Amino acid sequence: MGTTTSAKNGTWRNWGGNVSARPARQVAPASVEELAAAVRRAAEDGLKVKAVGTGHSFTSIAATDGVLIRPHLLTGIRGVDRDAMTVTVEAGTPLKRLNAALAREGLSLTNMGDIMEQTVSGATSTGTHGTGRESASIAAQIKGLELVTADGSVLTCSARENPEVFAAARIGLGALGVVSAITFAVEPLFLLTAREEPMPFDRVLAEFDQLWAENEHFEFYWFPHTGNTNTKRNNRSAGPEQPVGRLAGWFEDEFLSNGVFQAAQWVGRAAPATIPSIARISSRALSARTYTDIPYKVYTSPRRVRFVEMEYAVPRAALAGTLRELKTMVDRSGLRVSFPVEVRTAPADDITLSTASGRDSAYIAVHMYRGTPHHAYFTAAERIFTAHEGRPHWGKLHTRDAEYLAGVYPRFGEFTALRDRLDPERLFQNDYLRRVLGA
């Protein structure tokens, strides 16, 4: 699932297959000292530096023709502090390894996204999130960071130490330095009961505020060309554990969600006119189910069907209106959309460039199967999202620039001023950062 690199010509490609780069060299540091040395050497050679995780971003946020820092040797848990209830991990550690290691220790993150292939630093630096009434993105669970800055020095930051760096670097877009280690808040392992059930689109929107208020984690998927959604509520549970049975799990999560879904994408790509009927059938094929398990087995699911994605955060109060406009646009457009639209929420947080910075947010994610034309759909969706002061996910497709982003992020200038201080020579610059942060 990770990145694909061909050593023959040194080309790096992202997971979605829509971004590639040919760095001058690739380095895989095994320690923070080696990382700092690689940064200093790049500066001496006049090369830009980018760190890349597993390539799960759909934007070119990690692309460079300079030095590409690969994280696969910078992995593992440095330490668990049971008094402070924190865990410190190397930046290249995949979330799935962190989750499994924490579970063995009887610990868990409070909340997480629905994919766990990414590295901890890649996921946090782009603002990866799940859904939650009180609990926010993965980055909002960070208690401390270690950052290698442009001059090769190692900066540690937390709410007490270098707090202005901490405010920004938790979602730093790779613009402030290379993250070498992260300290997360953890809690004793707990159980979640998931309740998944179909619900009509109009009912979800009419009852959205209540569904949000009554559940710790609420999300839903709307199937374009239909009036159907599938809802998921995750709430803490006293137990007992009742995981999805192996056969049912395989049937629902692999056969339906990945196998049949993949086949439907192939049919849809070959014959777009069939998509609305496929959507009606597949949205009705899902039956209600309830199960109870440890957090990462409830929050996350395998994603084997490759796609490209755009996601925007809008003010939570604007969700119903935004989604109705999206549905009207799809119904009138002649577009054929074979992927469900995912809707999640997050509470306001205090991270400078978090998509939920300073405002309670709802996320609307649109997807298209990899290799199908997505431009018309994403452009029309983006027009709706931006009319509601939407903030694009940093790791997903969007066309916004610094001028727009400065208007929807009250603390935008705070971030760019810190970048001027930490990286005056723009060692960590690339085309994407030039667009979203300005030159």
For the segment 42-100, what is each residue's pLDDT rounded down to a tens digit?
999 999 999 999 999 999 999 999 999 999 999 999 999 999 999 999 999 999 999 99
Which pLDDT band holds residue 372 (cuts at 50, 70, 90)?
A: confident
Using the predicted structure, report yes or no on whether residue 3 has a pLDDT greater than 60: no
Report the predicted TM-score, pTM, of the whole model to 2 decimal places: 0.93
Point out the least confidently predicted range of 139-153, 224-238, 276-290, 383-397. 276-290
pLDDT at site 65 = 96
Lowest mean pLDDT among 22-31, 187-196, 243-252, 427-436: 243-252
Is the pLDDT at 247 greater than 70, yes or no? no
Task: Please say if the pLDDT value at position 245 is more than 80.
Answer: no
pLDDT on residue 274:
78
Which burial class, exposed, middle or buried, applies to 157 when counting CB atoms under 10 A from its CB (0-12, 13-18, 19+)? buried
Question: pLDDT tens-digit profile of 269-318?
Answer: 778 887 787 778 777 777 788 999 999 999 988 777 788 999 999 999 99
- pLDDT for position 260: 66
227 pLDDT higher than 70: yes
C-alpha 182/C-alpha 169 separation (Å) is: 11
Residue 25 has pLDDT above 70, yes or no: yes
Burial class (CB in 10 A: 0-12, 13-18, 19+), 222: buried
